[in-house]
Chain A
Amino acid sequence: MREREEVSVLEIRDLHVTVGEGDDAKEILRGVDLTVRSGETHAIMGPNGSGKSTLAYSIAGHPKYTVTGGTVTLDGEDVLAMSVDERARAGLFLAMQYPVEVPGVSVSNFLRTAATAIKGEAPKLRTWVKDVKSEMELLEMDSAFAERNVNEGFSGGEKKRHEILQMRLLKPAIAILDETDSGLDVDALRIVSEGVNRTREEGEIGVLLITHYTRILRYIKPDFVHVFVAGKVVEEGGAELAEKLENEGYAAYVKGSKETATA
Chain B
Amino acid sequence: MTDPNTDLTTQSSTLASELFAPGVGAQAGPPTTPAPDTGSAGDVTPGAHSHGGPTPTGSPAERFTSTDPDAFGVPTGREETWRFTPMRRIRPLLDGADSDATLSWTTDLPEGVELTRVDAGDPLVKGLPEPVDRLAALTRQRARGADVVRIAGEAQLDRPVTLGLAGTGGEDVVWGQLVVEVGAFAKATVVLDHTGLATYSGGVTVIVGDGAQVTLVSVQDWAPGAVHGGQYDAVVGRDASFTQVVATLGGDLVRLVSNVQYAGPGGRAELFGVYFSDETQHQEHRLWVDHAVPNCVSNVLYKGALQGEGARTVWIGDVRIRPAATGTETYELNRNLVLTDGARADSVPNLEIETGEIVGAGHASATGRFDDEQLFYLCSRGIDAETARRLVVRGFFADVVQRIGVDALQDRLMSTIEARLGALPGLDEQPVEVS
Contact = CB atoms under 8 A, between A and B. Distances in A.
Interface stretch (A24-32, A84-92, A191-199, A246-254): A84-92
Given A88-B380, A147-B435, A100 B373 contact: yes
A100 B383 CA distance: 15
Contacts of B16: 98, 101
A117 to B, nearest CB: 4
Given A89-B382, A117-B383, A104 B377 contact: no
A172 to B, nearest CB: 9
Contacts, number: 109
A239 interface: no
Given A105-B395, A109-B432, A117-B382, A84 B387 contact: no
Interface in B374-403: 374, 376-385, 387-388, 391-392, 394-399
A104 B395 contact: yes
B382 A118 contact: yes
Given A100-B374, A102-B392, A106-B435, A170 B430 contact: no
A206 B60 CA distance: 66
B434 interface: yes
Interface size class of A (residues with CB under 8 A): 35 or more
A76 interface: no
Q: How large is the interface on B (under 10, 10 to 19, 20 to 34, 35 or more residues)?
A: 20 to 34
B379 A84 contact: yes
A153 B17 CA distance: 7
Nearest to A147: B435
B127 interface: no
Contact of B391 (A60, A62, A63, A110): A110
A93 B382 CA distance: 9
Contact of B19 (A103, A106, A109): A103
A88 B381 contact: yes
Interface string A54-97: 00000011110000000000000000000111011100011010
Nearest to A100: B377
B309 interface: no
A114 interface: yes
B387 A113 contact: yes
Interface in A116-148: 116-118, 122, 147
A211 interface: no
B382 A96 contact: no
Contacts of B394: 104-105
Given A103-B395, A104-B398, A109 B433 contact: yes
A261 B118 CA distance: 88
A257 interface: no
A18 interface: no
A103 B435 contact: no
Given A100-B373, A102-B377, A105-B392, A117 B384 contact: yes
Contact of A166 (B373, B381, B392, B434): B381
Interface string B301-331: 0000000000000000000000000000000
B114 interface: no
Nearest to A123: B431
Given A85-B385, A113-B391, A108 B435 contact: yes
Given A110-B391, A113-B387, A170-B381, A84 B376 contact: yes
Given A85-B384, A117-B383, A110 B378 contact: yes
A182 interface: no
Given A102-B395, A104-B395, A113 B431 contact: yes
B427 to A, nearest CB: 10
A249 to B, nearest CB: 29
Nearest to A152: B17
Nearest to B13: A98
A84 B431 contact: no
Contacts of B399: 103-104
| Residue among A85, A99, A112 having the largest count of chain B Cβ atoms under 10 Å | A85
Contact of B378 (A60, A102, A103): A102
Given A103-B18, A103-B399, A113-B387, 5 more contacts: A88-B379, A109-B434, A116-B430, A149-B395, A166-B381
**Which 3 residue pairs of A and B lie closest in terms of their CB atoms, listed nearest first?**
A104-B395, A88-B382, A114-B381
30 contacts: A62-B376, A63-B372, A83-B384, A84-B376, A85-B385, A85-B388, A94-B380, A96-B377, A98-B16, A100-B373, A100-B374, A100-B376, A101-B17, A102-B378, A102-B392, A102-B395, A103-B19, A103-B395, A103-B396, A104-B19, A104-B392, A104-B395, A104-B396, A106-B434, A109-B435, A110-B378, A113-B383, A116-B430, A147-B435, A149-B395
